[in-house]
Structure 1
Amino acid sequence: MKRIFLIEDDPKIAQLLKEYLERYEYKVELVEAFDKIIDEFKTVDPHLVLMDINLPRYDGFYWCRQIRSISNCPIIFISARDSGMDQVMAIENGGDDYITKPFNFDVVQAKIKGIIRRIYGEYALSKQADFLEVNGFYLHLTAMEIEYDNKSAVLTKNEFILLKAFIDRLNQVLSRTYLLEILWDDEHFVDDNTLSVNITRLRKKLEEIGIQKSIQTVRGAGYKMSDTWSEKE
C-alpha cells in the first residue's frame, strides 16, 4: 500500500481527500504540526506528498525545498493560487505537478496514480537510484558522500544540501539568498558568513577527489557549478 503525506491546513479538505484516496487503497497520513513537517515526513516516509502552498508559518515552496534537500519523493501541489507564476515556482522549487482548487477528486487520483506508476510501477525503468551521477562524478544521497576517479569524501549536512542544489541546477546561477534559505532550518540560524564557509569547505572536498574549480563565484549574483571534470576527458 502506497503512503501519501497530505500537507493541507484546511481540515475539511484534508479529511475529504483522505477519505477519497483511501478508497483506492492508499494510506494517507495528515500533517499534525506545521512547524515539524520535515520530522513528520521522515516518520511517514511517504511514496508521494500532496501539499498546499498557503500554510501556517512557512509556505509550501519552502517545505518543498526542505524535502528536496533530503529526498526525491514526488510532490504534487494543490492550491487555490492559479497564476502561471505560482505554477512555475512550484516546478522550480522541486514540485512534480500542480493542481488548482477547486479540484476534481478523480483528476487528483489520476495524477497520483500516474506519478506513482511512472516512478514505482510498470513505467519505472529501475528502482529509484540512491545517487546522482554527472559524467563519472557521484553524489551518494543516503551516505552523503561524493565519489570521483576512485576517490571519495564524506560531506556534512550543509555541504550535502549545497552540492545537491548545485547538481540539480548544473550550470545555473544560484543566488546567495536562495542558498541561505535552503540551509536555514528551525534550529540553526544561517548567516552570509556561514554560507561562505560552507562553500569554501565544499570546494576543498571536491578538490580532494580531483575536481577543480567547479563551483564558481558569479559576482553580484551568487554561485554556479559547472562539470569542469568532464572537460578534460
Structure 2
Amino acid sequence: MRHIFLDTETTGLYANQGHRIIEIAAVEIVNRRPTNNSFHFYLNPDREIDPAAQEVHGITLDFLQDKPKFTEIASDFIEFIKDTTLIIHNAPFDVGFINMELGLIERQPIENVVANIIDTLKMAKDMRPGQRNSLDALCRFYNIDNSQRSLHGALLDAQLLAEVYLAMTRGQEDLMIDFQYSGTDIAGEKNTHRPANLFILKASDEELKSHEVYLDKMKGEKKLIW
C-alpha cells in the first residue's frame, strides 16, 4: 500500500485572500516502510510573504526569486501523488491551498487525483480528545525526535508526520503487513504459510488422556453445549 505524506508552507493563512504556496513536500511510504522517494520544491509565489508567516517558516522572498513557479512543477507533482492515499496534518488547510494553485492553471482538484485523503489532526482529536494535537505535541507523545524543527519546513514536517502516523496506527495494521500473503498465493485458496518464528506446542498423550477424563467428569455433572 502506497501512502504519501504531504506538507506545505505558504505566504499567509488564507488561500482565498490570494496567498500562495512557497514550499511543498511529499514523502512516500510503501507497506509502512520509507522508500527515500520524495517530492520537494520551493516556489516563487509572485507576491509578498506576510511577516507573521515568515516568522513561522523563515523563508524569505529573496530566497524564492530564482525558484520555479507552481505551474512549472504541477505535472510532476500530480504524477507523484496520483492514485495514492494522501496523509496531511490539518488537511483542509493544505488541500485548500493546493486546489487554489491547481485552479489557477485550470487543473482538476486534488480530490480527483488521489484515491483518498486522511487528516491526521482529525485522527488525533478522535484518539486524544481534549489534548494538544499539533505535530510537535504528537512527536512528544510518541517519543519522536523533532529537535531539528526550530522552524516549520515542509520536507521535515512531512517526514515527521510519516513517523507520527505510523506510531498512531501501530497495532492491527502491523499484523496485516507482517502476515500478508506472498506474491505466489492465489486469492480464494487457503494460506498455509506460517511465520518462521511461530512455535507450536502440542499436548502429550498423557495430557490428552487427562483432558478426556476431565470432560467425561463434566458430562456427568451437567449438560454441555459443545
Normalization by structure 2: what TM-score? 0.26
Which structure has the higher relative contact order (CA within 8 Å, separation 6+)?
2
Q: Which has the larger radius of gyration?
A: 2
* Bigger fraction of residues in strand: 1
Normalization by structure 1: what TM-score? 0.25
